[in-house]
Chains A and B, each alone.
Chain A
């Protein structure tokens, strides 16, 4: 039941009216009492002491009362203490009406039961509740009175002194209990408020002491403030130096950035040049390949020519052999003629004529020899030409081979150049990238430097503010000091 309502703590002042536990008990107790009185009424009717009409009215009142109790309980559950109380007090009113109806009407001390509800409302409820409950009770009393006097309402049981006293006692006991509870509550509240006042007084004293301490600290503060001022001025100066240094660095970085940009541009030029070189080289490589192919074709042709020329050489070899044969014959003839001439020289007259013949034979032999020599000469020339041609062809093919080799080498050189050009282009690209990176890095640095400069500037500014604050602090400290000295 207490889980949803406010928790109780002994240090808290809890008004009785907020005491939900008590209220709930009242609800339960009142409902039980109401029910009990209705049962009594039922017994009265069953035993013939009361008329049906009266019983009906009594049941009605009991029903209303019970439902009011139920409503009150529900309201308390809902947390609506204010309305819950109201319903409770009304329910109690109806309870007291039922009592009056059952036991002798409104003339007698038993009317005091009405006070239970009223006092309850006064103690536990708000001002409005008291007024309302009083009115309702008064209205009920008048109504009952009228009913008795003019409408013939008979109570269930005639009032007698015992019943009156009993109810009086009940009423007094209830009221005094409630009053006691209330006054206990009140005294408790008073005690708590007193202790609170004492606490407050203590706190004030402590505060006063702290104040005095603060004033003492104030002079320390003044000294510290002066130091702070000096430091902040220094910091301001340092910050401005820092700012100027930073701007220098910034300038240098910007120059670096511009140099980097120049390098990047140069690298771009190199890259372009390398690109162009590459393009030209690719066409150069094509030219080299074509020339190699052409040389291969030439080599083939030269090979053919040499083969044919060699064939020619063999033929001329044959002719030469025939010529040699002619040579032999002419040589023999020559010697024959020689010897004939020698013989003729020693043979006198006959020898002379013989010598003439011999001379003619010799001249014939010489002519043959000369002819043979001529042919030999021609053959030799042909042979020479042939071997020269073969040689030239070989030379040519050698040249072609050398040319092919050169072309290959040129191709290799070209490849190397291409590689170098590619590497150059790559290097240029890398340089470009590096300088771009460097540029962005340096830009970043410049930015950072600017930020640093800004920070320095701000720190200088804040230092100045600090200085001003220090001055103010100093003044406050002085005032405090003045105050404290005047108090003591």
Chain B
């Protein structure tokens, strides 16, 4: 199942299997199992021109071995018709900084990128960031 993620200025796709929970952002530092929660806004992580969202947000929760990553977005939705996702061109994949984008689909005639959120969460937990977000670390 493919989920549609909306940030302030962009849209992404992700696989439902990659995330463990879909809901509202939590407020505590640790979840009920005591694991530290790493909260981060997804939009600015991926696109420097995507501003951080405020107000009512949705959260994608990914459980890693020792911690939890919460990715905050403006809205999460389920697409009525699953879109056909094509993988990225190999030469493009080969020159990505971090392999967070796996493919793209057309939504409303526009290319929308498919994200590997699990990989993304893992890299996030490792402290890896894209170039533009490195200053925020």
Contacts and interface: CB of A to CB of B under 8 A. Distances in A.
* A and B touch in their complex, CB below 8 angstroms: yes
Interface of A: 327-328, 331-332, 334-335, 338-339, 341-342, 345, 362
Contacts of B77: 334, 338
A335 B56 contact: no
A362 B78 contact: yes
A335 B23 contact: yes
B12 interface: no
A130 to B, nearest CB: 171
Given A335-B58, A335-B76, 4 more contacts: A327-B56, A334-B77, A339-B23, A341-B78
17 contacts: A327-B56, A331-B56, A332-B24, A335-B22, A335-B23, A335-B24, A335-B76, A338-B22, A338-B77, A339-B21, A339-B23, A341-B1, A341-B78, A342-B22, A345-B1, A345-B16, A362-B78
B112 to A, nearest CB: 18
Interface residues of B, number: 11
Nearest to A332: B24
A341 B16 CA distance: 11
Nearest to B3: A338
Interface of B: 1, 16, 21-24, 56, 58, 76-78
A346 to B, nearest CB: 10
B54 to A, nearest CB: 14
Contact of B16 (A332, A335, A342): A342
A213 to B, nearest CB: 139
A328 B22 contact: no
Nearest to A358: B78
A345 B22 CA distance: 14
B25 to A, nearest CB: 12
A327 B23 CA distance: 15
A338 B4 CA distance: 11
Contacts of B78: 338, 341, 362
Contacts of B16: 342, 345
A338 B76 CA distance: 9
A339 B23 CA distance: 8
Nearest to A366: B77
A331 B22 CA distance: 12
A362 B78 CA distance: 10
Contacts of B23: 335, 339
Contacts of A342: 1, 16, 22
- The listed residue with most B CB atoms (<10 A of its CB), out of A328, A335, A341, A345, is A335
B56 A339 contact: no
A230 B58 CA distance: 136
A345 B56 CA distance: 27
Nearest to B56: A331
Contacts of A332: 24
Contacts of A362: 78
Contacts of B1: 341-342, 345
B74 to A, nearest CB: 11
A339 B16 CA distance: 10
A390 B16 CA distance: 48
Contacts of B76: 335, 338
A143 B44 CA distance: 191
A334 B76 CA distance: 9
- The listed residue with most A CB atoms (<10 A of its CB), out of B1, B22, B77, B78, is B78
Nearest to A328: B56
Contacts of B56: 327-328, 331
Contacts of B58: 335
A341 B58 CA distance: 17
